[in-house]
Protein backbone atom coordinates (compact mmCIF):
# COMPACT_ATOMS: atom_id res chain seq x y z
CA UNK A 1 0.00 0.00 0.00
CA UNK A 2 1.24 3.51 -0.75
CA UNK A 3 1.38 6.27 1.82
CA UNK A 4 1.76 10.01 1.44
CA UNK A 5 2.08 13.08 3.62
CA UNK A 6 0.85 16.41 2.27
CA UNK A 7 0.94 19.89 3.75
CA UNK A 8 -1.45 22.35 2.21
CA UNK A 9 -4.05 25.04 2.62
CA UNK A 10 -7.73 24.10 2.37
CA UNK A 11 -9.14 25.73 -0.77
CA UNK A 12 -12.80 24.70 -0.53
CA UNK A 13 -15.49 24.27 2.07
CA UNK A 14 -15.63 20.79 3.58
CA UNK A 15 -18.53 18.93 1.95
CA UNK A 16 -20.11 16.35 4.27
CA UNK A 17 -22.47 13.54 3.26
CA UNK A 18 -24.26 10.74 5.07
CA UNK A 19 -24.31 7.51 3.09
CA UNK A 20 -26.94 4.79 3.39
CA UNK A 21 -26.24 1.12 2.55
CA UNK A 22 -22.50 1.60 2.14
CA UNK A 23 -19.35 0.46 3.90
CA UNK A 24 -18.96 4.03 5.21
CA UNK A 25 -21.51 6.03 7.22
CA UNK A 26 -20.22 9.48 6.32
CA UNK A 27 -17.84 11.10 3.85
CA UNK A 28 -16.07 14.47 3.89
CA UNK A 29 -14.61 15.90 0.68
CA UNK A 30 -12.41 18.98 0.28
CA UNK A 31 -9.49 20.27 -1.77
CA UNK A 32 -6.10 21.47 -0.58
CA UNK A 33 -3.46 23.47 -2.42
CA UNK A 34 0.04 22.18 -1.74
CA UNK A 35 2.31 24.67 0.02
CA UNK A 36 5.30 24.36 -2.32
CA UNK A 37 3.33 24.00 -5.58
CA UNK A 38 0.21 25.41 -7.15
CA UNK A 39 -1.48 22.00 -7.32
CA UNK A 40 -4.88 21.14 -5.90
CA UNK A 41 -5.46 17.68 -4.46
CA UNK A 42 -8.85 16.15 -3.67
CA UNK A 43 -9.08 14.79 -0.11
CA UNK A 44 -11.59 12.15 1.07
CA UNK A 45 -12.20 11.24 4.70
CA UNK A 46 -14.56 8.53 5.92
CA UNK A 47 -16.56 7.91 9.10
CA UNK A 48 -14.89 9.31 12.28
CA UNK A 49 -12.28 11.15 10.24
CA UNK A 50 -15.07 12.78 8.20
CA UNK A 51 -16.80 13.84 11.43
CA UNK A 52 -13.53 15.42 12.63
CA UNK A 53 -13.05 17.26 9.33
CA UNK A 54 -16.52 18.80 9.32
CA UNK A 55 -16.19 19.92 12.96
CA UNK A 56 -12.61 21.23 12.96
CA UNK A 57 -11.63 22.28 9.43
CA UNK A 58 -12.56 25.30 7.37
CA UNK A 59 -11.45 26.99 4.18
CA UNK A 60 -8.05 28.65 4.64
CA UNK A 61 -6.74 26.26 7.34
CA UNK A 62 -3.29 24.78 6.88
CA UNK A 63 -3.34 21.01 7.41
CA UNK A 64 -1.05 18.00 7.30
CA UNK A 65 -2.72 15.01 5.66
CA UNK A 66 -1.47 11.46 6.27
CA UNK A 67 -3.12 9.14 3.78
CA UNK A 68 -2.77 7.08 0.64
CA UNK A 69 -3.17 7.87 -3.03
CA UNK A 70 -6.01 6.43 -5.05
CA UNK A 71 -7.15 7.07 -8.62
CA UNK A 72 -10.92 7.73 -8.56
CA UNK A 73 -12.58 8.64 -11.87
CA UNK A 74 -9.23 9.66 -13.39
CA UNK A 75 -8.53 12.04 -10.51
CA UNK A 76 -5.71 11.55 -8.03
CA UNK A 77 -7.35 11.50 -4.61
CA UNK A 78 -5.89 11.13 -1.13
CA UNK A 79 -7.80 8.91 1.30
CA UNK A 80 -7.18 10.15 4.85
CA UNK A 81 -5.60 8.13 7.66
CA UNK A 82 -5.00 11.19 9.88
CA UNK A 83 -5.56 14.93 9.63
CA UNK A 84 -3.49 17.37 11.65
CA UNK A 85 -4.89 20.91 11.84
CA UNK A 86 -3.82 24.18 13.47
CA UNK A 87 -0.38 24.15 11.87
CA UNK A 88 -0.22 27.92 11.41
CA distance 18 to 34: 28
Q: Where are the domains of the chain?
A: 4-84
Q: Give residue 80's pLDDT.
A: 92
- The CATH architecture assigned to 4-84 reads Beta Barrel (2.40)
Look up the pTM and report it: 0.85
56-78 confidence digits (pLDDT tens): 999 999 999 999 998 878 777 89
Give the span between the Cα atoms of 2 and 13, in whole angstroms: 27
Amino acid sequence: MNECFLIGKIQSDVDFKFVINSTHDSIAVFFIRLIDKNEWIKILAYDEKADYCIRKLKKGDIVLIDGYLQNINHTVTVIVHHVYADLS
